[in-house]
Amino acid sequence: METALQTLIERIRAAAAAATPLRIRGGGTKDFYGQSLHGQVLDTRSLAGISAYEPSELVITAGAGTPLVELEAALAAQGQCLPFEPPHFGPGATVGGMVAAGLAGPARAAVGNVRDYVLGLELVNGRAEHLTFGGQVMKNVAGYDVSRLLAGSLGTLGLITSVSLKVLPVPVADATLRFEFDEPTALARLNAWGGLPLPVNASCWLAGVLHLRLRGAQAAVQAACQRLGGELLAPESAQAFWQSLREQTHPFFQPQADFSLWRLAVPDTAVPLQLGPTLIEWGGAQRWLHAPSEQAKRLRHHAVSVGGHATRFRGPDAALDVFTPLSPALDRIQRGLKQQFDPAGVFGQGRLYRGW
């Protein structure tokens, strides 16, 4: 991997000198996510392999090009996992792409996001400098915030070459309950349950049906099932359901002609948004819906009015902004970070925001 790394560093050095745009790409399973794709492809898949794994320390280190399925298989063999359930969106997903996209699955509200599990990473910046941030233990806080900063940056700050991640044991017990609730009742119940000592790990409401996943100690899960009631799903059906949410293979996520898929992040206490058929996750904090381009401004206004924001996650209209525009203060901070990490502006031009 050392030879491959040096080759990539030389490409970055040459690109910076010639002001040639580069587009960092692993398996390409998240190419749809973000504003636009520009520049020559900088393929990370040569940076593959698990370089260190200490199951007893709950830490794993892998190259950015390591297939995500390979890392998850190594963890599963030791009864461990990435608890935030990163979506793959295809067989080629890589560890670096997982961090760069910063996306998490159904359990995110209960266990945290990708950045919460990044202990450290190595990065080649726009000056072709190979830098190390963070470490392999939680006590090592040197550069810790910088490591977390790269999660969700979509390759705009530099080339992630290696990542150290905190992992957790697979929960002992797992159960999914099904309830028939309308939207206001489901949101009220989720908020009430959130204040109780229940092992709630994930939730999803759609079309009058609420699914609730419980995970933890056997006694805790059994007690919660008895307390909450509802219909207990068979393990195979439950696993298939949550997997369909994680990978967006559920029928709700199927593309609709001339409609974009929107993700609204709002307070979990927000009332029903009344914006059309909605799939609700994360205890009410993440709401998905399909809408035509002409409703983009309304969606963003509505999300902001309740203290959230809206992202055009997938869709046919490239003229629309993907992410909610930043405030002037945040824009200055973001541009300052970009200048420090990538002064020549070679990485991910226009991927996060237009003119960036």
Mean per-residue pLDDT of the chain = 94
Helix (H/G/I), strand (E/B), else coil: 108: helix
- Give the mean model confidence (pLDDT) for residues 43-53: 97
Tell me how far apart the alpha carbons of residues 95 and 48 are, in angstroms, rounded to a whole number: 9
Full-model pTM: 0.93
Q: Given a cut of 80, is residue 246 above it in pLDDT?
A: yes
Q: What is the pLDDT of residues 20-47, one digit of tens each?
A: 999 999 999 999 999 989 999 999 999 9
User: For strand 59-63 and strand 50-54, is the pairing parallel, antiparallel, or unpaired?
Assistant: antiparallel
Q: What is the pLDDT of residues 76-117, one digit of tens each?
A: 999 999 999 999 999 999 999 999 999 999 999 999 999 999
Residues 263, 299: contact at Cβ < 8 Å?
no
The CATH class, in words, for 173-246 is: alpha beta
Dihedral of CA atoms 355, 22, 100, 68 in degrees, nearest 10, equals 150
Give Cβ neighbours of residue 128 (< 8 Å, ≥ 6 apart): 9, 10, 12, 13, 16
Tell me how far apart the alpha carbons of residues 64 and 57 are, in angstroms, rounded to a whole number: 21
Closest among 118, 104, 105 to 148, alpha carbons compared:
118
Residues 163, 121: contact at Cβ < 8 Å?
yes
**What is the reported pLDDT for 141?**
46
Q: Give me the residue spans of the domains in the chain.
A: 2-169+336-341, 173-246, 256-314
With pLDDT > 70 as the criterion, what percentage of the chain qualifies?
Answer: 97
Q: Which CATH number fits domain 2-169+336-341: 3.40.47.10, 3.10.20.600, 3.40.50.1370, 3.30.465.10?
A: 3.30.465.10
Q: What is the pLDDT of residues 132-187, one digit of tens each?
A: 988 665 444 444 478 888 999 999 999 999 999 999 999 999 999 999 999 999 99
Q: Given a cut of 60, is residue 19 above it in pLDDT?
A: yes
**What is the reported pLDDT for 318?**
76
Residues 310, 324: contact at Cβ < 8 Å?
yes
**What is the reported pLDDT for 136?**
62
**What is the reported pLDDT for 278?**
97
Q: What is the pLDDT of residues 296-308, one digit of tens each?
A: 999 999 999 999 9
194, two tokens:
């959130």
**What is the reported pLDDT for 140?**
47
Q: What is the pLDDT of residues 199-240, one digit of tens each?
A: 999 999 999 999 999 999 999 999 999 999 999 999 999 999
**What is the reported pLDDT for 153?**
95
Q: Which letter, b or e, does each residue of 65-104 get, where b requires 16 or more Cβ atoms within 10 Å of its Cβ? A: bbbbeebbebbeebebbbbbbbbbbeebbbbbbbbbbbbb
Tell me how far apart the alpha carbons of residues 67 and 91 are, in angstroms, rounded to a whole number: 8
Closest among 310, 355, 307 to 331, alpha carbons compared:
355
